[in-house]
Amino acid sequence: EPEVTQTPSHQVTQMGQEVILRCVPISNHLYFYWYRQILGQKVEFLVSFYNNEISEKSEIFDDQFSVERPDGSNFTLKIRSTKLEDSAMYFCASSWVTARGALDTEAFFGQGTRLTVV
Partner 1 sequence: GIQVEQSPPDLILQEGANSTLRCNFSDSVNNLQWFHQNPWGQLINLFYIPSGTKQNGRLSATTVATERYSLLYISSSQTTDSGVYFCAVEKNSGYSTLTFGKGTMLLVSP
Footprint of partner 1 (CB under 8 A): 31, 33, 35, 37, 41-45, 48, 55-56, 89, 91, 93, 95, 97-100, 102, 104-109, 111-112, 114
User: What is the closest distance, in whole angstroms, from the C-beta atom of residue 72 to partner 1 in the complex?
Assistant: 21
User: What is the closest distance, in whole angstroms, from the C-beta atom of residue 98 to partner 1 in the complex?
Assistant: 4
Q: Which of 65/91 has CB closer to partner 1?
A: 91
User: What is the closest distance, in whole angstroms, from the C-beta atom of residue 59 to partner 1 in the complex?
Assistant: 11
User: What is the closest distance, in whole angstroms, from the C-beta atom of residue 73 to partner 1 in the complex?
Assistant: 21
Query: Phi and psi dihedrals of 42, rounded to 5?
Result: -85, 165
Q: Which of 22/114 has CB closer to partner 1?
A: 114
Q: Which of 55/81 has CB closer to partner 1?
A: 55
Distance CA 66, CA 93 (A): 16
- Single-letter code of the amino acid located at 59: E
Beta bridge partners of 35: 45, 91
* 34: nearest Cα among 115, 109, 117, 87: 109
Q: How many helices (H) and strands (E) does the chain have?
A: 0, 11
Map residue 85 onto helix, strand or coil.
Answer: helix
Q: Which of 82/95 has CB closer to partner 1?
A: 95
